[in-house]
């Protein structure tokens, strides 16, 4: 059995930031399913929303975040994240990260991007590869640390809790079982401070901007351990992904619209003018629904994002990654509008935490996309998530340092993982079939526009699939594929259950059967806890 002062599951911006800071105070394990750099963070294009300009203010950033959140943000959390942002940005630049800047009256100023829902330019970025640069910077720093051990190709199976071991005292997290993909062995890791930073669950949908690792592991693991889960019905669909059969929903950053890109339908109309005064830069939920409506009305496969009015030099310099990728798929954004469709992008709910990342289960913290801190409410403001990752990870470490475990896990013997009498999976096709079925049914029945009937259908199908997967789990040797499938099914069911319980439309949850917002009954979080 291994033992660490801190165990972090996940290697995106939140997990790595936490690990680097925790390394100054004890031993740290970072557990990650694939390679260190395989995370949602590495795919983030837009940047980090943060008040740095004289023309901006904390008050405006707070107001924009609350407006996007449609009445469900926790205002105190919003204020904390927004006001602590600049100090945490300095932590990143101190590590050598350089955000783009430009010359203004003889001195350099940040070159701030603009995205939907922001009343000011406030997005710090590194061209259109901000996340990749952040990830590279943090991993480079991590490799220099002698107190952090990075376990790649290791996947968390389940938490070890006092409750599951049958202790009648206060339930708490004591450690985690981890599958080593190379040896297929399950290791027991003891810790009094476990931090879930596993990112989101985009892979629960057929079309997503997320990398393959985004299978909702953290939410599923926390749910099974008895932690409270909040607001899972609020899944953000990014309005603009490259429409091409082989492009795997490649993201076309909102920053393209921030620089003047206009959405057009198949007749060339600037259709967003009919939906919102901010047109193509309206909040994301409105743009995604408008595109969905245009596509359904016209029978077309996609709409188009037109930025051909900008100079080729500007586009190649500001969006090199998008430019090159589109070109590889035969689309020259300098000369032609980019065909785009919406795709699942961000999980606004997650494991319920306070502003320090503390969950309802003592000893367990959650940071980054996997957590629901109250910052995003019913709809996330673009580029607020990397900001949340750096602020809350910093706060989580401070909180864990001043609150040592009440009953250290060392007094308890942790049982080794018992594999039971299991065989190798005989028919992989069952795993892949169930995986595909979940993703398609979530896309068709629990997507941008919902109805009671579609949600009921999804719920019934998911219950059957979960039964089948449970049987599989107990009878066969666990593999990463099987664990991911189990987590995907759990998270899909949590999204559906949350959506079923919200009989109104608000933010990212829109249902034809209850199209109005009902503050009287539903201006509250959706909370689910396993009985």
Closest alpha carbon to 97 in 29, 13, 39 = 13
Shortest Å, Cβ 495 to ligand SIN? 19
418 counts as catalytic: no
Radius of gyration of the CA atoms of the chain, in A:
22
Given the residues 172, 190, 193, 284, select the one marked as catalytic.
Answer: 284
Phi-psi region of 10 (alpha: psi -120 to 50; beta: other; left: phi over 0): left
Buried b / exposed e across 78-112, counting CB within 10 Å, b at 16+? bbbbbebbeebbeebeeeebebbeeeeeeeeebbb
Shortest Å, Cβ 348 to ligand SIN? 11
Helix, strand or coil for residue 132? helix
DSSP H helix total and E strand total for the chain: 15, 21
* Of residues 130 and 137, the one with the C-beta less far from ligand SIN: 130
Phi-psi region of 231 (alpha: psi -120 to 50; beta: other; left: phi over 0): left
Backbone angles phi, psi at 411, to 5 degrees: -75, -5
Rounded Cα distance, 6 and 26, in Å: 7
Shortest Å, Cβ 351 to ligand SIN? 20
What is the CA 158 to chain-centroid distance, rounded? 20
Length of the chain: 531
Shortest Å, Cβ 99 to ligand SIN? 15
What is the CA 229 to chain-centroid distance, rounded? 14
Enumerate binding residues for ligand SIN (CB under 6 A): 45-46, 253-255, 346, 382-383, 385
Shortest Å, Cβ 290 to ligand SIN? 16
Shortest Å, Cβ 89 to ligand SIN? 16
Record the tokens describing residue 17, joined without a space. 């930031």
* Of residues 253 and 379, the one with the C-beta less far from ligand SIN: 253
Q: Which residues are catalytic?
A: 284
């Amino acid at each position: 059995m291994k033992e660490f002062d801190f165990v972090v599951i996940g290697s995106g911006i939140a997990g790595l930031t936490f690990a680097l800071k925790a390394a100054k105070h004890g031993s740290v394990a970072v557990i990650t399913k694939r390679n260190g750099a395989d995370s949602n963070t590495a795919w983030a294009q837009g940047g980090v929303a943060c008040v740095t300009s004289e023309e901006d203010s904390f008050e405006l950033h707070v107001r924009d975040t609350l407006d996007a959140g449609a009445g469900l943000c926790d205002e105190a959390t919003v204020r904390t994240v927004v006001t602590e942002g600049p100090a945490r940005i300095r932590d990143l630049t101190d590590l050598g990260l350089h955000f783009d800047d430009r010359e203004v009256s003889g001195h350099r100023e940040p070159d701030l991007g603009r995205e939907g829902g922001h009343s000011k330019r406030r997005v710090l970025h590194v061209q259109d590869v901000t996340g990749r640069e952040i990830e590279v910077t943090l991993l480079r720093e991590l490799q220099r640390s002698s107190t952090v051990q990075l376990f790649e190709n290791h996947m968390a199976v389940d938490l070890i809790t006092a409750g599951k071991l049958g202790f009648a005292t206060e339930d708490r997290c004591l450690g985690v079982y981890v599958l080593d993909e190379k040896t297929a062995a399950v290791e027991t890791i003891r810790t009094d401070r476990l931090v879930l930073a596993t990112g989101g669950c985009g892979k629960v949908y057929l079309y997503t901007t997320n990398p393959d690792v985004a299978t909702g592991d953290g939410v599923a693991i926390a749910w099974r351990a008895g932690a409270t889960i909040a607001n899972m019905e609020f899944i953000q669909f990014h309005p603009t992904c490259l429409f091409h059969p082989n492009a795997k929903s490649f993201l076309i950053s909102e920053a393209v619209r921030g620089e003047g890109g206009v959405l057009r339908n198949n007749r060339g109309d600037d259709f967003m003018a009919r939906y919102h005064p901010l047109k193509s830069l309206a909040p994301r939920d409105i743009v995604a629904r408008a595109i969905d409506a245009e596509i359904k009305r016209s029978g077309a496969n996609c709409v188009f994002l037109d930025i051909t009015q900008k100079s080729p030099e500007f586009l190649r310099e500001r969006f090199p990654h998008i430019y090159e990728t589109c070109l590889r798929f035969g689309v020259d954004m300098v000369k032609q509008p980019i065909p785009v469709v919406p795709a699942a992008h961000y999980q606004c709910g997650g494991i319920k935490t306070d502003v320090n990342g503390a969950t309802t289960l003592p000893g367990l913290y959650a940071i980054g996309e996997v957590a629901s801190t109250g910052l995003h409410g019913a709809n996330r403001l673009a580029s607020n998530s990397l900001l949340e990752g750096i602020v809350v990870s910093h706060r989580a470490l401070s909180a864990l340092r001043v609150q040592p475990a009440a009953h250290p896990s060392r007094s308890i013997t942790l049982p080794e993982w018992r594999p039971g009498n299991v065989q190798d999976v005989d028919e992989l096709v069952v795993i892949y079939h169930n995986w595909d079925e979940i993703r398609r049914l979530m896309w068709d029945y629990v997507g941008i526009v919902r109805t009671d009937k579609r949600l009921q259908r999804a719920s019934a199908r998911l219950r059957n699939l979960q039964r089948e997967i449970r049987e599989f789990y107990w009878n066969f040797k666990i593999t990463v594929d099987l664990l991911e499938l189990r987590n995907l099914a759990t998270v899909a069911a949590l999204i559906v259950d949350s959506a079923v319980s919200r009989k109104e439309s608000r933010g990212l949850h829109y249902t034809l059967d209850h199209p109005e917002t009902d503050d009287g009954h539903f201006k509250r979080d959706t909370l689910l806890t396993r009985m």
